[in-house]
Structure 1
Amino acid sequence: MNTLQSSSQHTDLVPLRVLAALLDRLEGSAVRVDPAQYANVVSHLSQALSAAKPGDALGALLSAHPAAAELYENTHYEVAGLCRSPLDASMAAEQQARAVIQRAMQSPRESSANGQS
């Protein structure tokens, strides 16, 4: 019985896996992607993610497809939060952004103080 459930769960994820792979291809495309096509793929993937049952199989799929994982986080924030994003990377990005903003805020003042425009 468990084999049947596992097989059924795997089969249910096939459309989700195809859409996730397609979104990865669109995200990594070197050529311009039609915005309507992109939105259509994201819409269908979002619907498939909403219908998917949480579990190891879904987790493995999301680990293999970063664009789908990001979409899952954004559309299931109440359940997933940012749990799929590495906290260290998020903190480092935030600190880097703060440093850049701080430098940008100081630059015009320093230029004005030195008599430069």
Structure 2
Amino acid sequence: MTTPLTTHRNLVTLVQVLRKLEHSRVPVNADQYRALVAQIATELENHPRDASLEALLAAVPELAELYENLNYAHAGLCRSPLDASVRAEQMALDAINAARTRPTGSVPQA
């Protein structure tokens, strides 16, 4: 019987293996890597969407990126910080508008 705790432990163990593979100085077999990612994806599907998953995703950027990629079709960049993206977009729009209204040849003040 699989419990949420077992699923969480399995995911933690698989993430540790993923980190070792990603930081390995020895080339990793692509099939081995794909098999590991597939197993992690299965464990993510079985893991409850709870505080322990959120904590794990916050602590392990590799897992968060994989989670986001797996859920992109339904949730977009669900793990990316929205506030920072919105601020960056607004700053870009402000810069574009300022450039449009500035006379040709003038230099912006810092």
Gaps in structure 1 of 5+ consecutive residues? 1-7, 96-117
Secondary structure at 1:13 match in 2:
helix
Secondary structure at 2:49 match in 1:
coil
Give the alignment's TM-score, normalised by structure 1. Answer: 0.61
Return the offset for 1:10: 2.9
Secondary structure at 2:24 match in 1:
coil
Q: Which residue of 1 aligns with 2:47?
A: 52
- Paired with 1:86 and 1:26, the residues of 2 have a C-alpha distance of 27
Q: How many residues align?
A: 85
Judged with a 3 Å threshold, the aligned counterparts in structure 2 of structure 1 residues 85 and 26 are, in CA distance, closer, same or farther, namely farther
Gaps in structure 2 of 5+ consecutive residues? 93-110
CA RMSD, Structure 1 to Structure 2 (Å): 2.4
Contact 1:27 1:67 in 2 (8 A): no
Contact 1:63 1:69 in 2 (8 A): yes
Q: Which residue of 1 aligns with 2:81?
A: 86
Q: Which residue of 2 aligns with 1:64?
A: 59
- Paired with 1:13 and 1:75, the residues of 2 have a C-alpha distance of 18
Q: Which residue of 1 aligns with 2:12?
A: 17
Runs of 4+ in 1 over 6 A off after TM superposition: none
- Say whether 1:77 aligns with 2:68: no
Greater helix fraction, Structure 1 or Structure 2:
1
Alignment deviations for residues 54-103 of structure 1 (CA, whole Å, 9 cap, x no partner): 010011111222111111111112554323223548x69xx9xxxxxxxx
Identity of aligned residues (%): 40
Amino acid at match of 1:26: L
Amino acid at match of 2:67: Y
- Paired with 1:49 and 1:79, the residues of 2 have a C-alpha distance of 15
